[in-house]
A = this chain, B = another copy of it.
Amino acid sequence: MGPRAPGDPPTERTRVRRLPERGVYDREGVYEILDAGFLCHVGFDPGHGPVVLPTLYGRSGDTLYIHGSPVAGMLRSMRKSIPACVTVTHVDGIVLARSLFHHSMNYRSVVVFVVPEEVTDVTEKLSALEVISENIVPGRWAEARKPNTSEFTQTIVLKFPLDEASAKVRTGPPGDDEDDYALDVWAGVLPLRQIAGQPEADPRLAPDTPVPLYLSQMVEPG
């Protein structure tokens, strides 16, 4: 069997069992969810059972990149190319049904099964660092000081092919049992979202340093 692409039919382990109508398998659906975030949870087994740790990521084409220190347990384990799972979840709302049983969450999530590969090519590694940085704060890479050789060496970059990815999405109002619609209980969705507040300057920053446009554009107006 050749490598799978996100648009291919689900494999046995990427098939969404619980509520098949919530499964999203197409490539664009997976990419859109990944590109809407920057924090993933990575699961791996360093030898004493599963560990799940949060880390930052960026996507370029069919590849997800993460980075970290070679001293960190996660990077130390995963550069050995052990199987891992990368999950990204956006919570969009709390779904309040008339019955507690039908309470739910509106969300978008992607689960990717991977065997991590360390990026050693200098050009790809630098490009991957830029991809991660630009995914978090677009515009920052051009302004901040670039890594020097020592910093570059102290950074491990891993890549995860997006071959075996699946997404799940729930949207919309609650689905109650027909009998329960007569109950006098408020029902609907409490929408949730992550927002950026006003940038807080480093105390050691020169007082008149303007907030860069790329940063003020990320702040929620209001």
| A interface list, Cβ under 8 A from B | 13, 17-18, 39, 41-45, 48-54, 56, 69, 71-73, 83-87, 89, 91, 93-94, 96-101, 103, 105, 107, 109, 111, 113, 129, 133, 136-137, 140-141, 143-148, 151, 154-155, 173-174, 176, 180-181, 183-206, 209-212, 215, 218-219, 222
Contact = CB atoms under 8 A, between A and B. Distances in A.
A200 to B, nearest CB: 5
Nearest to A183: B145
Total identical chains: 2
A100 B192 contact: no
Contacts of A146: 100
A53 to B, nearest CB: 7
A145 B185 contact: yes
Contact of A193 (B54, B87, B141, B197): B197
A210 B185 CA distance: 9
B43 A85 contact: yes
11 contacts: A45-B45, A49-B83, A99-B144, A99-B145, A100-B129, A100-B145, A103-B140, A186-B201, A190-B218, A191-B198, A193-B197
B205 A188 contact: yes
Contacts of A187: 201-202, 204-205
A209 to B, nearest CB: 5
Contacts of A147: 99-101
Interface-central residue, A42, A54, A91, by most chain B CB under 10 Å: A54
Given A45-B49, A173-B204, 15 more contacts: A17-B71, A17-B72, A43-B50, A43-B52, A45-B50, A49-B85, A50-B84, A54-B109, A96-B140, A99-B147, A184-B209, A186-B199, A186-B201, A190-B218, A193-B194
Contact of A111 (B52, B56, B83): B52
A49 B113 contact: yes
A41 B148 CA distance: 35
Nearest to A93: B200
Closest 10 CB pairs of A and B: A43-B43, A49-B83, A43-B52, A43-B50, A41-B41, A101-B151, A52-B87, A54-B89, A191-B197, A99-B145
